[in-house]
Amino acid sequence: MTYEGVLTKMQTEIGNPINYYLVFENSFLNLNQLLDKELEISFQGYQCLNCGKKKKIFRQGFCYDCFMSSPAVGDWIMKPELSTAHLDIEDRDLVYEKRVQLQPHVLYLALSSEVKIGVTRGTQVPTRWIDQGASQAIPIVEVPNRYLAGIAEVALKNQYVDKTNWQKMLKNEILQVDLIQERIKAGNYLPQEVKEYFSDQHPNIIELHYPVLTYPKKVTSLSLDKILNFKGKLAGVKGQYLLFQDGTVFNIRTFEGYVVKIQI
């Protein structure tokens, strides 16, 4: 079987284990069914996820021009504390920014190797945690907009990392941590404007189970910029990574906007 299309981040469905899908224009692949099977990925070209042109991808699936102009990749995406829609101040497109920023956001702790602090829209729970390859996660507080979640995250950055250590996450090297205790501790560091949303009644810890047969001991990243054709046996899927039996890992997110052919 041959599948061809532009890579976008894998769609997921929570379950035990989580179900993963690669979705193309006219077809989709359920990756859980491909575990222990050989697959071949080959690079075919580019297709910007924003304008659809066959231009080289710059970042996040966007060509350079789209990355520099689209409101979907403004600085406030990566740095929520820079959000200004609540002040009626535009970054690139105020209508878009209001729609995305002025909705409930969750500040959370996720355990992917160590404890990480993060922010996501309420609608992205638990998808965001799955995409990061977290084994457990717990919301700290839900606030009405992105700005408040952002300043709370900044206040907690001295206590927790804000990036996933992806090698450890993929090797399944995870610290033993009590997230309920960590949440109580985190509550003490919240800024004044956010404290009123914090409740002593803790939400449940979400546990996430990935479809992985064997975790790699050493990981090597597959880059479609260097290797145009790769063949390997699928050993698992975690976060947005495909794990192969030989230790090769393929981060789908890094190659969004790349057109590939997948042969099974």
Q: Which residues make up the interface to Zn ion (CB under 5 A)?
A: 48, 50-51, 63, 66
Instruction: Compare residues 51 and 94 and give the one whose CB is closer to Zn ion.
Output: 51
Largest separation between any pair of C-alpha atoms in the chain: 57
| Residue carrying structure tokens 């002025």 | 102
CB of 50 to Zn ion, least distance (A): 4
**β-sheet with 11-13: strand ranges across:** 11-13, 19-23, 28-30
Nearer to Zn ion, 65 or 81 (CB): 65
Strand partners, 97: none
Cα-Cα-Cα-Cα dihedral sign, residues 99, 206, 16, 256: positive
Give the three-state DSSP class for 46. Answer: strand
CB of 63 to Zn ion, least distance (A): 4
By beta-carbon proximity to Zn ion, the closer residue of 55 and 261 is: 55
* Cα gap 224→227, rounded to integer Å: 5
Q: In whole angstroms, how close is the CB of 91 to Zn ion at the nearest point?
A: 19
Least distance to Zn ion, CB of residue 26, Å: 22
Whether omega for the bond prior to residue 126 falls within 30 degrees of 0, making it cis, is: yes
User: Three-state SS for 66?
Assistant: helix
CB 7 within 8 A of CB 222: no
CA distance 238 to 217: 15
Instruction: Give the nearest distance from C-beta 7 to Zn ion in angstroms.
Output: 15
Provide the minimum distance between the beta carbon of 56 and Zn ion in the complex, in angstroms, as a whole number. 10
- Cβ proximity to Zn ion: between 66 and 249 the closer is 66
DSSP H or E run through 99: helix 94-101
Q: Considering only CA atoms, which of 43, 4, 9 is closest in space to residue 25? A: 4
Would you say 28 or 64 has its CB closer to Zn ion?
Answer: 64
- Please say which residue, 73 or 110, places its beta carbon nearer to Zn ion: 73
